[in-house]
Structure 1
Amino acid sequence: MIIENYIANDFPILGVDTTAEEALQTAVDFDFTHVFVENEGVFQGAVRKECLEENRKKNLGELLPYMDRFSILYGSTLLDGVKLFHTFNTNVIPVINKNEEYQGYIAWDSIADELSKYPFFSETGALLTVEIPRTNYSMVEIAQIVESNNGKFYGALVTEMNEAFVRVTMRISNENLSSIDETFERYGYIIVQKFYTDEKEELLKSRYEFMQKYLEF
């Protein structure tokens, strides 16, 4: 979970005197959405590839006003970075230290590969989405309902939350699904969605969709 294990160092950070044309080629070579910029060893920000395409004759210093300012601190966790990928619509995040010096980067492919190993995404079984009034929400209770019916609880995501209700999507084993449904309803939950097939194609699709939902939340 610590990002140090996923940092790569082959993507260079560029100086403010680098031309947008040169920077664009770097972005294309690595197939990244952004390039990173420094000035006298201090991280300045990230320039999107589209901005480079529109300003090929300028240098990166001239594009400072258009830079996205995002990064992650060395020593953070993978989950700290997940939100940044979605917020800035990027596939690469710079890693900096407390002095704002570039330490390397983490790529979305590396994060997705790691998250795909989590039981919520890797285990076969049922996907079940339930809704409960926010005042009654308890993840402990949700897990207990599954396990009290001899089901296995592999993990859950809060996929929607507002002042009125909370929706939770969980990955559970295929045992005693009808009993689990009935128990949730008896405890006041609404069954919003259930997906019990194990066909590989549908499982992969569902994992991707809920990964996206996790990022959005």
Structure 2
Amino acid sequence: MLAKDLISDVIPALRTSDTGTKALGWMDVFKVAHLPIVNNEDFLGVISESDIYDMNMPDEPLGNHPLSLLRPYVLEDQHVFEVMDVMSRLQLSLIPVLNASKHYIGVIALPDLLHYFADLSALKNPGGIVVLDLNANDYSLAHIAQIVEGNSAKILSSYITAYKDSTKIELTLKLNVVDLTSILQTFERYEYVVVGSHMKVDEMDDLYEDRFDLLMRYLNV
């Protein structure tokens, strides 16, 4: 997915003639801590809540004051991963999007980005999560997938967290099964270090209920 596919159709841009009071009101309405400033199609920069409070004159036009942030933006054809990187590094609640001519076309808000990431990571799908700790040189997704699929499960998504100044990595797997017992045992048999496993409470309840029903049917035979 590209940046242009996530542009919000509700968050407006400010103009230099708008006041800090107006900007704060919009920030409250749209639950953001930043807003873009645009004149016609020209993107001038991003103003933050702290910028406005530092002015100490919120009823003056925004054009009368300098911005603490430069001109953070992404281009409409940049991949969503690059959008995530920019927003994370700059700690933005939204990011302006420009076209190839560097004209403003809209913003991407953090909640929309998080919803997309949830869909991308299959977080909404039922299933369990396994977290492994391993050396980067020992990482083989093919072998890990073989272990998972050998236990009648599939990997829905995976991502790696690298440790600073270390050869260790943390691998998080989202699987399509709730009962992780056999998978965890197999990982341990292959000497993988399992640092965590998670299942939703309601999914655990369903699992235990299914097992209880099976036990009752067995005892009634």
CA RMSD of aligned residues (A): 2.8
Q: CA deviation at 1:36?
A: 1.0
Unaligned runs of 5+ in 1: 202-217
Aligned residues: percent identity?
23
Aligned amino acid, residue 16 of structure 1: T
Q: TM-score, normalised by structure 1?
A: 0.78
Q: TM-score, normalised by structure 2?
A: 0.76
Pair 189,69 (structure 1): closer, same or farther in 2 beyond 3 Å: farther
| Equivalences, count | 202
Q: Does the Cα contact within 8 Å between 1:24 and 1:49 map onto a contact in 2? A: yes
**Runs of 4 or more off by more than 6 Å in structure 1?**
none
SS in structure 2 of the partner of residue 179 of structure 1:
helix
SS in structure 2 of the partner of residue 117 of structure 1:
helix
Pair 198,173 (structure 1): closer, same or farther in 2 beyond 3 Å: farther
Q: Does the Cα contact within 8 Å between 1:150 and 1:175 map onto a contact in 2? A: no
Q: Does the Cα contact within 8 Å between 2:3 and 2:74 map onto a contact in 1? A: no
Match of 2:151 among 137, 149, 152: 149
Could you report, residue by residue, the CA deviation over 1:177-215 in whole angstroms, capped at 9, with x for unpaired residues? Answer: 3332233233332110112354279xxxxxxxxxxxxxx
Aligned partner of 1:73 in structure 2 is 75
Aligned partner of 1:172 in structure 2 is 175
Partner Cα distance (1:111, 1:157) in 2: 17
Unaligned runs of 5+ in 2: 205-221
Q: Does the Cα contact within 8 Å between 1:95 and 1:104 map onto a contact in 2? A: yes
Q: CA deviation at 1:119?
A: 5.5
SS in structure 2 of the partner of residue 124 of structure 1:
coil
How do 1:1-217 and structure 2 match up within 5 A?
1-38=1-38, 41-55=41-55, 56-118=58-120, 120-162=122-164, 163-174=166-177, 177-199=180-202
Q: Does the Cα contact within 8 Å between 1:9 and 1:103 map onto a contact in 2? A: no
Rg comparison, structure with higher value: 2
